[in-house]
Amino acid sequence: TRPAPGAVHVPGWLSAEEQRHLVRACREWAGGPVPIRHTRLPRGGVMSVRTVCLGWHWQPYRYTRTADDVNGGRVAEFPGWLGDLGRRALADEYEDPRAGETYAPDTALVNFYDGQARMGMHQDKDERTGDPVVSLSIGDTCVFRFGNTETRGRPYTDVELASGDLFVFGGPSRFAYHGVPKVLPGTGDPATGLASGRLNITLRVTGLT
């Protein structure tokens, strides 16, 4: 479905096998050189979501190659197969399938939500490109709030994102406010390898070198 210009939601895009593969990979990244953790915000807050990054480390509000709190541990590499998956997402599902030929994501943010975790309304504007963001969800269903480009508040639309769903945010939707007001515990299938909680993987093009 096309919830807004430049946005595409494809329920169940990932196969069961791909979901299991991604869960296994996320476990390895979570225990890698820069372990998964709650991001600390510059004004003293701590995010309820836990995050591990690939390719570039996101620290609010910029991307770096290392994380300064783990002895300069270098961020895990962004794997080629994940870029392939992103290109296939655009080629299969995006407005101009040729966008899939040139899409070159160089970072992924892996977010883990337990039953209490939330993400407040925000825009993603630390990347220097307007290339689409590809989002993959696994595990418990969440309520995803998709807003507008002007304000954090209304108008917005609430959409459920379930295990296997693909969402692409490009064009006019790329800089829309969005957030995750709640996770629905117990809605995931343990056969993915995730007994509880929700994983979201977003692929991005930083435009950095």
Q: How far apart are CA 168 and CA 152, in angstroms?
A: 20
For ligand MD3, the binding residues in 112-141 under the rule CB under 6 A are 119, 124, 133, 135
If residue 142 lies in a helix (H) or strand (E), which one and from where to where? Answer: strand 142-146
Instruction: Count CA within 13 A, CB hemisphere, residue 167.
Output: 23
Q: How far apart are CA 112 and CA 1, in angstroms?
A: 25
If residue 130 lies in a helix (H) or strand (E), which one and from where to where? Answer: none
> Any contact of residue 109 with ligand MD3 (CB under 6 A)?
yes
- Single out the residue of 107, 168, 178, 183 in contact with ligand MD3 (rule: CB under 6 A): 178
Binding mask 18-57 for ligand MD3 (x = CB under 6 A): ----------------------------------------
Number of residues in contact with ligand MD3 under rule CB under 6 A: 15
Selection from Fe ion, ligand MD3, none that 141 binds (CB < 5 to 8 A by kind) is none
Residue with smallest beta-carbon separation from Fe ion: 124
178 belongs to an annotated ligand binding site: yes
3-state secondary structure of 112: strand
Let me know if 101 is exposed, middle or buried by CB neighbors in 10 A (0-12, 13-18, 19+): exposed
Structure-block tokens of residue 167: 């969402």
Nearer to ligand MD3, 57 or 178 (CB): 178
Site of interaction with ligand MD3 (CB under 6 A): 109, 111, 119, 124, 133, 135, 167, 169, 173-174, 176, 178, 180, 200, 202
